[in-house]
Structure 1
Amino acid sequence: MERNQLATVREVIVKRTRLAQRRRTLGFSQERLAEQLGVDRTTVIRWERGETEPQPWQRPNLATALAVSLGELNTLLTTRSPDSPRQVVVPLAMPLAGTSDAPDDLAAMQSFRMADRQVGGGHLYATVTGYLQHTVAPRLFGINMSADNDGLFAAAAGLTEMAGWMAHDAGRDDAAEQHFHRALGLSSAGKDAQLGAHVLASLSHLSHYRRQPEQAVHFAQRGRQSLATGQPHPGVQSRLFAMEARGHAVLRQPEECTKQLLLAERTLDGKPGETSSPWVSHFDHAALAAEEARCFRDLGQLDSAKRYAEQVVALRPADRPRSRAFAQLMLVSVLIAQGKIDEACIVAREALDATRSVSSFLVLQQLGKMGGALSGHRRNPEVAVFLGLLQEELAHRRSLQWVSSSQPSTDGLAEL
């Protein structure tokens, strides 16, 4: 075989191995992946053999199923020129090949998390729950049970908590609550107190969303109590203080709210314990600033709310469109309350443009509420133009079924 021919064959083999490995890591058989994509199994086989390429219109769905970005998918599918040096680039979200066929749950979760931050939970919820059902559950409860039961229970808890967030982002709050409570039990079985406290913070957040501040404070305090005797985790502890502060803000208790926020700030920069749970998502200064913006908005301290919302926008990069959009929409609400309508329209359009590919009921809901808040200023030419664009874009996103059918319309634009 000629040298160039050999190089070509080797490239095809690498591509087939990486693509197939990615599928197996997420718990998909070729049949299941084909069924999810609406293609024949032979189509998936030809992709993995390097015989054919997915069509352009198939790639977004394939990237979503594999929990990678389109750029990462293109890396998997690209065959290098035989004349160029052979180099295979594996994205950070991709687990490297190991010596065992056992799924790498942590690598899978990191990939899910990265994709979720980019495209939203609506695209990924079914994929994550499918991974739990077909890849994790058989090892927990089947005949091939893992020897590391504590680690596997913790992995199941972390992935289940993530599924809860994706359900929440898709507008399925009853399912989110079930996932969170299930994750709490699994974290206890896995002896991961840090993860359990993290899940309690998630339950607190969900209670806030449902306008149950007393329940939110209860979950936050319960989470801090569970961490009191174990290894400290500054991120989890800071998040719990912030969740409690939000409850005090809604209950119009500014002194207690401010006290909890100061504790959150001090704790976030504290020294972590010797061990930290790998299943806990990162809580950083941008995340804390987002909670502070919510608190000060609820307290009616608009200048402080504006300052913290602007801080989040500055800290969050463009590849975190959903998180950035929440801060932008918070900023819009504050600017409207301050009577800065033209400035609010500029920020609103930035948020609308940045979230076109994000499948998030929560983003869609907040965009609609923003439209409702702006509708009282429709005599402003900039507002009138923007509301027309917003109404068209929301209708388009609903046509893609990005909103949970179980949720009522809350777009604020029904009268436009």
Structure 2
Amino acid sequence: MASSTVTSPQPPRPPQPNLAFRQLRGQRSPAEFAAAVRRAAREIGERVCCDARYVGRVEAGEIRCPNYAYERVFLHMFPGRTLTDLGFAPRSSVRGRARTTDDADETKGACEPYETQNPPDPHQSDHQNDEIYEESDVLRRLFMTSGATVAAASLSPLGLAHDASAAQSPVRRAGASEAGALEEAVRRIRLLDDRHGADGLYRRAAAPLRAAYALLDAGATRRTTADRLHSGAGELAISVGWLAHDSGRFDDARSHYAEALATARMNGDEALEAHAFCNTAFLARDAGRPREALRAAQAAQRAARSLGSARLMSLLALREAGGWAGLADRTGCEQALARAQALFERGHSDADPEWMSFYGEAELEGLEAQCWSTLGDWRRAARHAGRAAQLQDPHFTRNLALYTAELADDLARGGRPDEAAAAGMRVLDLLGEVQSSRIQTMLAGTARVLLPHRRASGVSAFLERHASLPRTP
């Protein structure tokens, strides 16, 4: 228990929207305004990691006063104005109070970590919320129970320390045990996603991400440990970004991937850079930006060229194929697919990244199915999706549901409604174990395609069962 001489902190005030800053943005989107901020920073020799999420936090009042780098950029953009004119609180009013989580974000470095603090969804069942909290506890414990334990002072600004007096302790540097705990958190998130999907997990995965960047801020005892921390934080940002991606939160995913890419480039980590570009390509394809998907996939291949992993280059060729398919370039897509297959057949090597454990023959077939589906070749798409579902280890429920949903959609669009309904039923059987907005969106599209065929064998039963599913809020 904290000493009685310690003054109890005042309850946090709810943030007040920064209307002045919002007015200055005008008709520009948050992403466009963030790009303008980055350009202004370059003009005066500053470097800030501004994106749409940061702009949103400022406008929501979560950042009451920017750090000094952002201050210089904003005053350069709006000459003659003060911070108060821009809707911020005076720096003295922020620095004069005990630091809270928000204050820590307001006054630290220019590349600010991302955070997502979504409360539990009141519309979910108690069982679903229990699972969310259980996953949250698992992820927290990965940091709190490592050999030497993560420094309480490093975690306290992020809400992970339980002792109020620990927050007053000086921050100590991270060591090998903290780096190991971070790497284990990444593995655990990936495992939970493989088994259960992203929707519930995403709500709680931000806490380890904040802790990871707190460790980076604190520094490390050795250069090798610092490299591990940078790599681990970047991989964790990608993992959290994927959870956002699979949950349909594309803007959040884009921010997390951009953070990982910035971390990779600051540390000269080509493997992390390739991974960040790989996921960025996938996201761009799903978001309907095929040219960006193509360029990101090609950038990933340039970064990965010296790593010596044929399997990684195979996956990146598939990402490129997805971009070509989105551009309706069948020749480019076929060439990239052939390259992906040839590289895959070279087999595993010691150079294969750990995060690629998901990439086996089933994923190869599933990604090829998506390419043919994008090109409108439903027969070929269904053949590859069916192979993917057959090859997938049933232990990884999320991917099994994904490939089967792809199969159902390809069959429906290819004029085989009865087979599509049967595949759709198999997906519905799996949704009790999987929470993935992406899969639910695919299944909803299949249901719309099947509506005119409701009299076909099995279709009516599928449509009725699908209609009875609880709708995500």
TM-score, length-normalised on structure 1?
Answer: 0.70
Q: CA deviation at 1:195?
A: 2.1
Work out whether residues 138 and 145 of structure 1, in 8 Å CA contact, stay in contact via their aligned partners in 2: no
1:154 aligns with 2:231: yes
Q: Residues 8-407 of structure 1 correspond to what in structure 2 (within 5 A)?
A: 60-67=131-138, 99-101=147-149, 102-103=177-178, 104-133=181-210, 135-142=211-218, 147=223, 148-228=225-305, 230-270=306-346, 275-279=351-355, 282-380=358-456, 382-393=458-469, 396-398=470-472, 401=473
Q: 1:377 to 1:57 in 2, by over 3 A?
A: closer
SS in 2 for 1:252: coil
Q: CA deviation at 1:275?
A: 4.3
Q: 2: distance between equivalents of 1:335 and 1:187? A: 41
Q: CA deviation at 1:165?
A: 0.5
Matched with 1:82 is none
Work out whether residues 67 and 124 of structure 1, in 8 Å CA contact, stay in contact via their aligned partners in 2: no
Q: 1: distance between equivalents of 2:351 and 2:315? A: 18
SS in 1 for 2:203: helix
Q: CA deviation at 1:118?
A: 1.2
Matched with 1:11 is none
Q: CA deviation at 1:151?
A: 1.3
Q: 1:57 to 1:281 in 2, by over 3 A?
A: closer
Q: 2: distance between equivalents of 1:254 and 1:320? A: 32
SS in 2 for 1:339: coil
- Deviations for 1:103-126, whole angstroms, at most 9, x for unmatched residues? 411222111111111111111113
Q: 1: distance between equivalents of 2:414 and 2:389? A: 19
SS in 1 for 2:394: coil
Work out whether residues 237 and 267 of structure 1, in 8 Å CA contact, stay in contact via their aligned partners in 2: yes
Q: 2: distance between equivalents of 1:270 and 1:361? A: 35
Q: 2: distance between equivalents of 1:160 and 1:352? A: 31
Q: CA deviation at 1:193?
A: 0.8
Work out whether residues 177 and 203 of structure 1, in 8 Å CA contact, stay in contact via their aligned partners in 2: yes
Q: 1:67 to 1:236 in 2, by over 3 A?
A: farther
Q: 2: distance between equivalents of 1:126 and 1:56? A: 15
Q: CA deviation at 1:277?
A: 4.1
Q: CA deviation at 1:233?
A: 2.0
Q: 1: distance between equivalents of 2:266 and 2:186? A: 19
Q: CA deviation at 1:224?
A: 1.0
Matched with 2:53 is none
AA at the equivalent of 1:358: V
Q: 1: distance between equivalents of 2:127 and 2:307? A: 49
AA at the equivalent of 1:158: E
- Give the percent of matched residue pairs that are identical in Structure 1 and Structure 2: 24
- Deviations for 1:267-294, whole angstroms, at most 9, x for unmatched residues? 1233666645445554222111111111
Q: 1:138 to 1:271 in 2, by over 3 A?
A: same
AA at the equivalent of 1:139: L
Structure 2: any 5+ residue segments left out of the alignment? 1-118, 150-176
AA at the equivalent of 1:60: E
Q: 1:333 to 1:150 in 2, by over 3 A?
A: same
Q: 1:281 to 1:180 in 2, by over 3 A?
A: farther
Q: 2: distance between equivalents of 1:146 and 1:357? A: 42
- Deviations for 1:201-233, whole angstroms, at most 9, x for unmatched residues? 1111111111111111111111111223x2222
Could you say which structure has the greater relative contact order, defined with CA pairs below 8 angstroms and 6 or more residues apart?
Answer: 1
Q: CA deviation at 1:337?
A: 2.7
Q: 1: distance between equivalents of 2:128 and 2:442? A: 29
Q: 2: distance between equivalents of 1:276 and 1:318? A: 24
Q: CA deviation at 1:175?
A: 0.6
TM-score, length-normalised on structure 2?
Answer: 0.62
Q: How many residues align?
A: 321
Q: CA deviation at 1:144?
A: 6.7
Work out whether residues 309 and 331 of structure 1, in 8 Å CA contact, stay in contact via their aligned partners in 2: yes
- Residue range with higher mean Cα deviation, 336-345 or 210-219: 336-345
Q: 1: distance between equivalents of 2:146 and 2:293? A: 42
SS in 1 for 2:205: helix
Work out whether residues 366 and 388 of structure 2, in 8 Å CA contact, stay in contact via their aligned partners in 1: yes
AA at the equivalent of 2:241: G
- Deviations for 1:341-399, whole angstroms, at most 9, x for unmatched residues? 11111110000111223221111211211111111112336222221110111xx242x
Q: 2: distance between equivalents of 1:310 and 1:327? A: 7
SS in 2 for 1:236: helix
Q: 2: distance between equivalents of 1:371 and 1:289? A: 24
Work out whether residues 311 and 347 of structure 2, in 8 Å CA contact, stay in contact via their aligned partners in 1: no
Q: 2: distance between equivalents of 1:273 and 1:349? A: 38
- Supply the RMSD in Å over aligned alpha carbons: 2.9
Q: 1:162 to 1:275 in 2, by over 3 A?
A: same
Q: 1: distance between equivalents of 2:362 and 2:356? A: 16
SS in 1 for 2:328: coil
AA at the equivalent of 2:263: L
Q: 2: distance between equivalents of 1:331 and 1:202? A: 23
Q: 2: distance between equivalents of 1:381 and 1:122? A: 33
Q: 1: distance between equivalents of 2:120 and 2:410? A: 42
SS in 2 for 1:127: coil
